[in-house]
Chain A
Amino acid sequence: MFAEARLNDGTRALIWDLRPGDREAVREGFEQLSEETRFHRFLAAVPHLTDTMLDHLVDEVDGVDHVAIALVVLDADGTGVPAGVARMIRYSEQRDAADVAVTVIDQFQRRGVATALLGELMRRRPVGIRRLVTTVTADNAASLAMLRRLGPTVAEPAGPNRLDVVVELPSDGGPGGEPGAGSQVEARAAAEDEIL
């Protein structure tokens, strides 16, 4: 399934489902991230994605409990350049709650990639998910702002520079309307669009 998106500066982009064949692209994309971005993604120092991690992050995507999508920026001649990945994963012990993670390659940050990904992710979210439950660094104001836009949010301190965040999702399928292939995603976020 594809969706079209447009970044803040009008750049065209495509969003599609992550597939097992994307394993190497995900590995390579991760290598392009700054230390800071990697840290915000995993809340730990992760220099490379290991095979064990890729098994989980790519091969275990099933579209049912684990939805993952990628955004590809299209340049003038239509060539796609991967810019970011977003995923939502259901908690096994809380069937109506999911974790969320968005990663944008540094050079594409602050251009609305994360907002576009998150909007599309909300449309494709696993059936029955009513809450997002995740952890972010307390200094990551952009992520918090993005989460708050999704619904009523409660953030509790979880140790130094960590916040456990719970977002109650609206029942109408989230901002941006009904799910659907090819729907136009408006990237509304301004400079704060970042990493989660």
Chain B
Amino acid sequence: MASTTPTYDDTRPEPAVSLARMFYDRVAATPDREAFRFPDGSGWRSVTWRQTGETVRTVAAGLLALGIRPEERVAILSNTRVEWLEADLAIMCAGAATTTVYPTTTADDVAFILADSGSRIAFAEDDTQIAKLRSRRDHLPDLVRVITFDGQADGEWVLSLHDLLALGARRLVEDPGAVDRAVAAIGPEHLATLIYTSGTTGQPKGVELPHRCWTYIGAAADNLGILSAADLQFLWLPLSHSFGKMLEAVQLQIGFPTAVDGRLDRIVENLAEVRPTFMAGPPRIFEKVHAKVVQTVQEEGGLKRRLFTWAFRVGEEVAGSRVEGRRPSPYVRAQHTVADRLVLTRIRDRLGGRIRFLVSGSAALSPDVARWFHAAGLLVLEGYGLTETSAGTCMVLPDDVAFGAVGRPLDRTEVRIASDGEIFVRGPGVMRGYHHLPDATAEVLSADGWLATGDVGELDQRGHLRITDRKKDLIKTSGGKYIAPQAIEIIFKAVCPLASQMLVHADGRSYATALITLDPEALTQWSRAEGLPVTDYSALAASPAVHEYVAACVAELNSRLNRWETIKQFRILDHDLSVENGELTPSMKVRRKVIETAYHDLLDSMYVPA
């Protein structure tokens, strides 16, 4: 069992040439230590590195038996669970490359990603994922086999994990060195992972991350000196996202155990049971904890609310002193002891009571939320990275805390700010390129290795990077997912003949909403055909009949989108956007900022908890 005051050990392997080698080294270095913990019945089960090594080697042999060759793609469509990690490690050890697919991705997008990546085998979690593949099988000629964790196998196209293990075991009897040879043949530039990211228009692009990206991230995270083998991670992040995947490399390098369970509705219970020493997540999870606590206290009111407000004020004062390197006065310290016992420790207990720090990444964390956690004695360290940089570029460190900044670059990663403010990144974590898209690659990656991030920012006096803006038409939700408003607006205009404009809003919010305007001529025509008595725009826009019609269009739109892109609420404005109101320039360019400022309250109204 891990202690709350982890110590360093000397079991860390030298930087490896591949993620597969890194895994082999980890198994050899600490075979009997706990590797993973996962739900089993009503409790948790643990496996050691040796046991994981055996499973992974057998699954890898199974993939080789199915004919997988170096750098060929194997997809994983699954929620976060221990089998995801085992499958990924097996793909690595077979010398192949993993295509990661979100379990919530639509069947059409799954078909695109698998076809574009040329995936030959897919791990599909359950019958839901298998159904998506079956429904598009005609479009997936390269996909020779599907392996399912929990779904129904058919013994032909769809095999169970058990079937694959049996194939692998047989292969290892025939050729015991098959997997070892595959691992030995992997070089640092060989493809390890393909992760698809949205563009502003068109289809998603496959980001090619070779093995050196992950071995670098593992080593760079280790160099930060903030984690040790005595830590215990709780992992629930989607592993199809680079942020989740990065944590796998960090674990192999450092060797701490990880409790894995991707079920979102279990996070709170799991934290109490697992009692991890660190956890990573997108800002959304921290916002949720914050909002829930604040709301509960508000509702309870009275003395409890006063006590809570006081305790956080004291907590903030102490936390602020620590950041500035000052020691609080004896009086404040005494107050803090009481505040901590009565209130602050309870917040920490909600997360299991042993958290040393939390890591926030994949979208901007509100400095207010970060300060609130800090006042409760929970440090949230913010990081910055893109899928194109293997999720690791900058990181705030416990001894150099800054709120609203994303920290300094990792070792051997360079960051520079162009004259227009765009952030450029160079280093071993930078992708090889976009999968068979040389032009798109050349647009962002220069010959000398600098990646144009599309983010705009500045380096402050302490060398911390601050992200201030973006050069791409992509919105990032507080869940860390990209939404391409342009693509959504195009579909909406295609499905809604009444539409004039749709303004998708989601920046820093937990879900997407939209402001909608209607085309006056189309609206008049429609209202006549429907026999509606009114023809005035604002009256029609407010009418239930129009709302119902537009709601049906939005439902149709949502059915074509991935779940995280769907428009959860919308409002129809009482006029179409106009030049007169300054919402359009005279040449009819949409002035998004003017509109978002003018309708700030209306937008906020769509984010009030029900």
A91 to B580: give the CA distance in the assembly, Å.
10
Q: Which residue of B lies closest to A55 (CB)?
A: B521
Interface residues of B in 412-469 (CB under 8 A from A): 420, 454, 456, 469
A 20-41 binary contact with B (CB < 8 Å = 1; else 0) = 0000000000000001100101
Neighbour of B590 across the interface among A43, A50, A90, CB < 8 A:
A43
A99 to B475: give the CA distance in the assembly, Å.
27
Q: Is the interface of B mostly helix, strand, loop or mixed?
A: mixed
A53: which B residues are within 8 A, CB to CB?
A: 588
Interface residues of B in 465-489 (CB under 8 A from A): 469-473, 475, 485-487, 489
B317 within 8 Å of A (CB atoms): no
B 107-140 binary contact with A (CB < 8 Å = 1; else 0) = 0000000000000000000000000000000000
B302 within 8 Å of A (CB atoms): no
B500: which A residues are within 8 A, CB to CB?
A: 50, 52
A12 to B64: give the CA distance in the assembly, Å.
61
A134 to B475: give the CA distance in the assembly, Å.
23
Q: Which residue of A lies closest to B485 (CB)?
A: A45
A160 contacts B470, CB within 8 Å?
Answer: yes
Interface residues of B in 574-591 (CB under 8 A from A): 576, 579, 585-591
* A35 and B469 contact, Cβ closer than 8 Å, known pairs A43-B592, A89-B587: no
B522 within 8 Å of A (CB atoms): yes
A91: which B residues are within 8 A, CB to CB?
A: 586
A42 within 8 Å of B (CB atoms): yes
B522 contacts A160, CB within 8 Å?
Answer: no
CB distance from B507 to the nearest CB of A (A): 7
A159 to B503: give the CA distance in the assembly, Å.
13
B28 within 8 Å of A (CB atoms): no
A 42-54 binary contact with B (CB < 8 Å = 1; else 0) = 1111110011110
CB distance from B439 to the nearest CB of A (A): 13
A87 within 8 Å of B (CB atoms): yes
Contact residue range for chain A?
35 or more
A 136-175 binary contact with B (CB < 8 Å = 1; else 0) = 0111000000000000000001111110000000000000
A50: which B residues are within 8 A, CB to CB?
A: 500, 519, 521-522
B226 within 8 Å of A (CB atoms): no
* A161 and B587 contact, Cβ closer than 8 Å, known pairs A44-B501, A45-B493: no
Neighbour of B587 across the interface among A39, A100, A162, CB < 8 A:
A100
B326 within 8 Å of A (CB atoms): no
Q: Which residue of A lies closest to B420 (CB)?
A: A138
A159: which B residues are within 8 A, CB to CB?
A: 592-593, 596
A42 contacts B201, CB within 8 Å?
Answer: no
A36 to B456: give the CA distance in the assembly, Å.
21
B503: which A residues are within 8 A, CB to CB?
A: 44
B470 contacts A161, CB within 8 Å?
Answer: yes
A158 contacts B486, CB within 8 Å?
Answer: no
A99 to B587: give the CA distance in the assembly, Å.
6
A139: which B residues are within 8 A, CB to CB?
A: 454, 471-473
B490 within 8 Å of A (CB atoms): yes
A44: which B residues are within 8 A, CB to CB?
A: 486, 489, 501, 503, 589-590
A157: which B residues are within 8 A, CB to CB?
A: 456, 469
A35 to B494: give the CA distance in the assembly, Å.
13
A133 to B582: give the CA distance in the assembly, Å.
13
CB distance from B386 to the nearest CB of A (A): 15
B520 within 8 Å of A (CB atoms): yes
* A39 and B588 contact, Cβ closer than 8 Å, known pairs A47-B493, A47-B494, A162-B593: no
A189: which B residues are within 8 A, CB to CB?
A: none
B494: which A residues are within 8 A, CB to CB?
A: 47
CB distance from B483 to the nearest CB of A (A): 12
A39 to B585: give the CA distance in the assembly, Å.
14
B588 contacts A42, CB within 8 Å?
Answer: yes
A101 within 8 Å of B (CB atoms): yes
Q: What is the interface of chain A, defined by CB distance below 8 A to chain B?
A: 35-36, 39, 41-47, 50-53, 56-57, 66, 87, 89-91, 98-101, 133-135, 137-139, 157-162
28 A–B pairs (Cβ distance < 8 Å), ordered by A: A36-B201, A43-B591, A43-B592, A44-B486, A44-B489, A44-B589, A45-B489, A45-B490, A47-B490, A47-B494, A52-B521, A57-B587, A66-B586, A89-B587, A98-B586, A101-B587, A101-B589, A134-B587, A138-B420, A138-B470, A139-B471, A139-B473, A157-B469, A158-B591, A158-B592, A160-B475, A161-B470, A161-B472
